[in-house]
Every structure is written in structure tokens, then in C-alpha cells.
Amino acid sequence: MTLSSERETTKAAFLEAHGFGDVRRESLGGDASTRSYERLHREGGATFIFMDQPPSVETAPCPPDATPAERAALGYNALARLAAGRVDAFVACAGWLNAQGLSAPKVLAADAAIGLAVLEDLGDDLYARLIETGTDEAPLYDAAIDGLLAIHAAPTPDVLAFDGSTWPLLKYDDLALKTAHDIFVEWQPKFRDITFDAAALAEWEAIWAPIRSLGEAGATVFCHRDYHAENLIWLPQREGAARVGMLDFQDAVLAHPAWDLSMLLHDARRTVSPEREAASLERYLAARPELDRTAFLADYHALGALNIIRILGIFARLVTRDGKPRYADFIPRLWVYLDVCFADPALADLKAWFDQYVPVETRR
């Protein structure tokens, strides 16, 4: 029996065991991860989402008490504090989000050991697709900000627990943030014809160390970590922040509140205008008068730059290592966002580093 046919047997048995043996299955493909999805159709019209995350295809996630050396030995997921696609992470995070009155897919059946789950189907009205076809983006982004405000107002436990699944909410710490920005200097030279010598890398580390420090010190909220228009579904029949259906949150960590704002407003896959960014930030800050506006925006620009640079590195890796050229199409948009962050005088040293070591003609 081949691995694919063995996996198919496992999936069919799981569906049968959980009362979904009579459904029609429709493949929805995968994404940039190792997951894949199907829509399950039951006679009468009810639909569900079937998530398949084979547990053996990812490096291990980070144990809560792992040392930096142990994390390095375990691999990238442990360094970056990613969940390695674990179904128990998804179940625990979904349960926590729903407990806050938000709209994550309800988990109808799950088996973390084999990496399978049946989920509530929130539909196909992704923010990105609706906006492409002419839907006014303003109420969608306002609701997305309200969703973040609800998340950021909620107490954050050390361990998320729901329906028998538990998952630690680890901090987006110095090592994870360093892993994030160092993807750029590892993969950009393979993507564009540039090199970084020892002096450049020493300057790189010196510039980032204080930014990582503010990121770790400000790590106080549940961070979705992939909060953007391809992972948000519009649910206008619901009320308030529950109108935002949330997907792909299993890599959640404890992080600075600016991180998910950057994910939303520095969206790699669609252009967020300066006007929309400003309106969304104003909505967020108006709802949190206790924040020092100037300090928060400085953090947003610094951590936003880190996040954008992380994504540039990931996309360079997807193109050069994984043979996914379509990600190159998103890269010019990220450089535009990065220039906006670089306009903050506090990032003058980082801007100067890029001006010296990353020629303008390679920023595409």
C-alpha cells in the first residue's frame, strides 16, 4: 500500500467513525503549508470542512521549557515557535477564540494523533475575494480591528485548553523573533544576486537586538499570527466582532499587539492603502486610550518592519527552495510597505543598512 492510499484509508476510517461516512468529498487543495482541505457535503445541503495535517511531515514544535540549543536541534518550528500544524493546537486555539465570543470554526471531530479534524464550514466569503469583486472594504476592516480589540482585551492563559486538547501559549521571544528576521539574510542572497559579509551581518544583529527586546517585552496578548484578508471570512449575519470568521490561527503565540496589526495592514497578498492603514490604526488606538500613541506607533513600525522582512525571506524561500514562483508576485508590494515603515526616524539605522547592502534594483 502506498503512503497516499494508506492515508486515504485512515481518512475514510476517521470519517466513518465520527458519523461522516455518508458525505460527498470535494477537494479544496492546500496552501503554503503541509495541510490540505476538503469540503464535506451531506445530503440535505449541510457542509463541513475536513482538515488533513499529516503529523509526521513537519519538524517538532517547541517544548515550553526547551533551551535555545534544544530548539535549534529540533529545527525551524521550534526556533520560530510554530505549531508544526498540530491539530491539538488548532482545537485549543479555536476553543479559546470561540470562548471570547469570536468566530473560529467549531471543531466537530478531531484526532490529533493522526492529524485529522472536521470543522464548521464558515463559507467562502474571504475578505480578499469579496473586496476583489467590489465589496466595500471599510466595514470588513473595521470588524477585523474590532476582532483584534476583543482578543487584546482578553486574559491570556499560559495553556489553552478545549475539549480535551491543550496547547501552550508560548511567548514570541527573542530567539523566535531573531529566527524571523534572519530568514531574510539566509534566503535573499539565493533569490537575488547579493551577498552579506561578516560586517553586514554584525550590523544586522546590532540593529535588530533592541527591536527584538521591545517585541518580547510587549508580548502580552494572544497573537493569531496570520491575520490577513486571505484568512478572514465575512459573516454579516453575526454581530460585532463575531462577523469576522478566523482561520489558520494554530501558530498562535503571546506577542506584542502590533504584530497582528502588521499582518492585517501589511498584507502581502493585497494592497492595503495608506488611507485604510491610517483609518484602521486610528480605530484601534481610539478604542485603547490607555496606550501611548507615539510609542505604540513606533513599535508598530519597528515590529512591522521585522514582520515584512520575515515574509520577504519566507517568500524568497518558497520561490527558490520549494519551486513556488507565484510568491514572487507578492514581493514588490512588501517593499512598498517596508519603505513606509522606514520613514519612521527611529528606524534610520535599519533603513541605512538596506540602502548599503540591498541595492534598489534587487528590491523586487
Q: At what angle do helices 331-342 and 293-320 cross, to 10 degrees?
A: 150
> Could you tell me where the beta strands, DSSP code E, fall in the chain?
24-30, 36-41, 47-52, 107-111, 116-120, 159-162, 165-168, 221-223, 232-234, 244-246, 253-255
Taking the C-alpha atoms of residue 363 and residue 205, their distance in angstroms, rounded to an integer, is 21
CA-based nearest residue to 171, from 211, 213, 205, 232? 213
DSSP letters for 92-141: HHHHHHHHTT-BPPPEEEEETTTTEEEEE---S-BHHHHHHTT--HHHHH
Q: What is the pLDDT along the chain (364 residues), one digit of tens a residue?
A: 566 788 999 999 999 999 999 999 999 865 556 789 999 999 989 999 999 998 877 899 999 999 999 999 999 999 999 999 899 999 999 999 999 999 999 999 999 999 999 999 999 999 999 999 999 999 999 999 999 999 999 999 999 998 888 899 999 999 999 999 999 999 999 999 999 999 999 999 999 999 999 999 999 999 999 999 999 999 999 999 999 999 999 999 999 999 999 999 999 999 999 999 999 999 999 999 999 999 999 999 999 999 999 999 999 999 999 999 999 999 999 999 999 999 999 999 999 999 999 999 999 8
Unique residue bearing C-alpha cell 501558530: 251
Task: Report pTM.
Answer: 0.94
What pLDDT sits at residue 285? 98
Distance of CA 144 to the CA centre of its chain: 14
The one-character DSSP state at 50 is: E
What pLDDT sits at residue 1? 57
Confirm if 186 and 309 have CB atoms less than 8 A apart.
no
What pLDDT sits at residue 87? 93
Taking the C-alpha atoms of residue 351 and residue 339, their distance in angstroms, rounded to an integer, is 8
What pLDDT sits at residue 33? 64
Confirm if 60 and 157 have CB atoms less than 8 A apart.
no
Taking the C-alpha atoms of residue 273 and residue 260, their distance in angstroms, rounded to an integer, is 17
Taking the C-alpha atoms of residue 232 and residue 206, their distance in angstroms, rounded to an integer, is 36
The one-character DSSP state at 30 is: E
What pLDDT sits at residue 340? 97
Q: At what angle do helices 293-320 and 258-265 cross, to 10 degrees?
A: 60
Q: Is 41 helix (H, G, I), strand (E, B) or coil?
A: strand
